[in-house]
Structure 1
């Protein structure tokens, strides 16, 4: 028994030493789609974002990379939409938030792992300081369309019930997160620091008493959680919102010359 206890103590000590020796870094050979860190400059209502991603995806491996500098007027910010993309069954989804402006522009924020060249995502590895985190800001025709069309994921969009005066707070919270990550690299964590927990943490800026819930871990049910908290457009049951928010058929049927952001919102409640 003593030998077993000693072995366990040594093993735990070795693991703790390994754990704390892992340090996040900005200096690795990054995959193309996460190679650039978002940089933000804010001056009143004027926000200039450098390294907004606007890739043209034909397949997951065939794409034209584009990184752009874009300017946004926060006084023209009108909407925010929750996007869930399912890639491994109904319980797990990738969570994104997309902001809409009066001029028809949309900008989507997504917390992701910062993959190295040739690296693939593993939920288990995500528990053990194996991936840095990156906040991607992208055009919807890039970050949503690659999921619905190039990757074959099941994608849903929901209008968030957020008063106009609070949209600015949410948008700037994402900007602050980007500035924080640009200054100091951090690890992605499958449980505590992921695409869904960042949305929850930011939402608490306007609703401080949001309750913890198992649906924060099983991210595929996050839209259902948001609906239960009154966070989605009012007057519709969750099942109807989910059915009408399914964008894949519209995204795949889009014709040349059509606007992707407009097409995916056709028939969606609140849009």
Structure 2
């Protein structure tokens, strides 16, 4: 039971792609973010790590997408993350992940026994989506979200502030209560009138989180997640567009304007 007394730390021999913690500085509607990851992958183990700094105008936010990456034929295990879109076509993706040490691999048991720290990866879409779809070979589904622009803004600010907080107050990842999807749900609850408990089965098994999002009226599409899930899969276009400077635009070709709700 020694693990019960372990404390989280930001001072470890981290995997090269997770060494840099992002930081956001706010000035009115402007947010300047340092440490935006933009890796160039040749495979899952061969990649060039790059980061950039960029300023965003929160007044130009106009859309939000929810991504789901199932891990297995059984639909339950999955990774989820968000991407925030701006009027000029820029996208900023935020993914809540295990912060791995060099050579470390994730395990469910390790996630229950304080073996991994938590990290908010702030990155380009090409990094996060390309890694999963092209190099891991996993299916990735993109769901446009129906939401009030002000709530999208609050969601992004909340996630960036939490990323800032982890710089000074590291936390352990927990397989049940402190995951990619439970954190998205917590941020959703901060900006929504409708509460979603983190212990909802479709949160604990995030491969079903898209069904939950549709049940809550959040997915901006006439298609059913239940019967038409493949219409949201982006693998083919991601593979075609991975080297295109207009990557984010390409994977959205044919989208209808997103609807807002109050």
Give the TM-score normalised by structure 1. 0.89
Q: Which residue of 1 is the match for residue 179 of structure 2?
A: 194
Q: Aligned equivalents of 2:256 and 2:133: distance in 1?
A: 20
Give the Cα separation in 2 of the matches to 1:137 and 1:233: 24
Match of 1:249 in 2: 236
Match of 2:35 among 36, 51, 54: 51
- Equivalent residue in structure 1 for 2:85, among 100, 104, 108: 100
Aligned-partner Cα distance in 2 for 1:132–1:178:
13
Q: What is the deviation of 1:259? A: 1.9
Deviations 1:248-271 (A, max 9, x none): 111123375452212222345656
Change (3 A) 1:69 1:221: same
| Equivalent-residue separation in structure 2 for 1:119 and 1:175 (angstroms) | 26
1:228 and 2:207 aligned: no
User: Hey, what does 1:169 align to over in structure 2?
Assistant: 154
Tell me if the contact between 1:79 and 1:167 (Cα under 8 Å) persists in the aligned partners. Answer: yes
Residue pair 1:159, 1:270 contacting (<8 A) in 2 also: no
Residues 136 and 238 of structure 1: CA distance in aligned 2, closer, same or farther (over 3 Å): same
Aligned to 1:141: 126
- Hey, what's the Cα distance between the residues in 1 that align with 2:151 and 2:194? 16
Q: Does 134-143 or 227-236 show the bigger shift? A: 227-236
Query: 1:156/1:95 Cα in 2 relative to 1: closer, same or farther (>3 Å)?
Result: same
Give the 3-state SS of the residue equivalent to 1:119 in structure 2. Answer: coil
Give SS of 1:51's match. Answer: strand
Change in 2 beyond 3 A, CA 1:243/1:270:
farther
Q: Any gaps of 5 or more consecutive residues in structure 2?
A: none
Cα gap change, 1:216 to 1:73, in 2 (>3 Å): same
CA distance in 2 between counterparts of 1:180 and 1:72 reads 20
Alpha-carbon distance in structure 1 between the residues aligned to 2:241 and 2:98:
29
Q: Does 1:26 align with 2:13?
A: no
Question: 1:86-121, CA deviations, whole angstroms, 9 ceiling, x for partnerless residues?
Answer: 223311110100000111110100111110000011
Computing the radius of gyration from Cα coordinates, the structure with the larger value is: 1
CA deviation string 1:183-222 (max 9, x = no partner): 1110000100000000100000122432332101111000
For 2:44, the equivalent position in structure 1 comes to 60
Aligned residue-pair number = 255
SS at match of 1:190: coil
Please give the root-mean-square deviation of Cα atoms over the aligned residues, in Å.
1.6
| Among candidates 144, 147, 154, match of residue 159 of structure 1 | 144
Match of 1:40 in 2: 24
